[in-house]
Amino acid sequence: MECVVQGIIETQHVEALEILLQGLCGVHRERLRIHELCLKSCPNLGLVSSEVRLLCDLEQSEPTWTVRQVGGAMRGAGAEQISVLVRNTVESKISKDALRLFYALGYRLDHELLRVGFAFHFQRGAQITVTVSSINKMLKLHSTDEAVPVTPGIQLVEVTAPASSENYSEVVAAVSSFCEYLAPLLHLSKPGISTGVVPTAAAAAASLMSDGGGATL
């Protein structure tokens, strides 16, 4: 299970966001370069169609692969009241022939993209990960060297935290609380609920850049 919120930020304010995150998290950022392949089952396979994602981490000296299955989001009145998406996910590390295997099993490439940016991993009431990345599409199949931004000038910010059915309320509270610190720069909400950029972002970013992160917003 995981808790997720997303938001967007203009690329020009990313540096300010990084300063803010550095100050809040107290850890160094890690570079992020992930080739994400979204596979869908071919028409005859499965009584219902299924989707699986292969993630190849290109930042490592030797590319490492993970397979990820994203399940349904928590539903009901309780779920609607919280501002964080809670959904089932399962991940597994997998060796390099994963794509060949899923093709052989009857899965087809639906789309692929390249996420380039950075991530912060830290503990603050929950194990939280913040990623800031540009989403890029490949001009040629699997060609990660020839990728162009899907939305030039805009980057995606994602805040995620693993959770279980026993502790998701605490994790939701931790993620929500953390997101409040980012409010001057960006608004984070459930994936699929778009809120656009934040009007105070430019002023907040200027403040961060001039202070170098020394003062609070």
- Given the complex with other proteins, which of 53 and 121 has the nearer CB atom? 53
- Given the complex with other proteins, which of 105 and 150 has the nearer CB atom? 105
Segment (H or E) for 116: strand 107-123
Can you tell me which residue has the tokens 């304010």?
13
What residue ranges bind other proteins (CB under 8 A)?
41, 43-48, 50, 52, 67, 69, 71, 88, 90-95, 97-98, 100-101, 104-107
Determine the 3-state secondary structure of 146 from DSSP: coil
Q: Please, what sign has the CA dihedral across residues 157, 163, 165, 169? A: negative
Q: Please, what sign has the CA dihedral across residues 43, 46, 51, 53? A: negative
Determine the 3-state secondary structure of 128 from DSSP: strand
Least CB distance from residue 172 to other proteins, whole Å?
23
* DSSP code per residue over 87-108: EEEEEEEE-TTHHHHHHHHTEE
Least CB distance from residue 171 to other proteins, whole Å?
19
Least CB distance from residue 87 to other proteins, whole Å?
12
Least CB distance from residue 189 to other proteins, whole Å?
26
- Given the complex with other proteins, which of 43 and 152 has the nearer CB atom? 43
- Given the complex with other proteins, which of 88 and 151 has the nearer CB atom? 88
Least CB distance from residue 67 to other proteins, whole Å?
6
Give phi and psi for 86, each to the nearest 5.
-115, 120
- Given the complex with other proteins, which of 107 and 118 has the nearer CB atom? 107
Structure token digits, residue 142: 């699997």
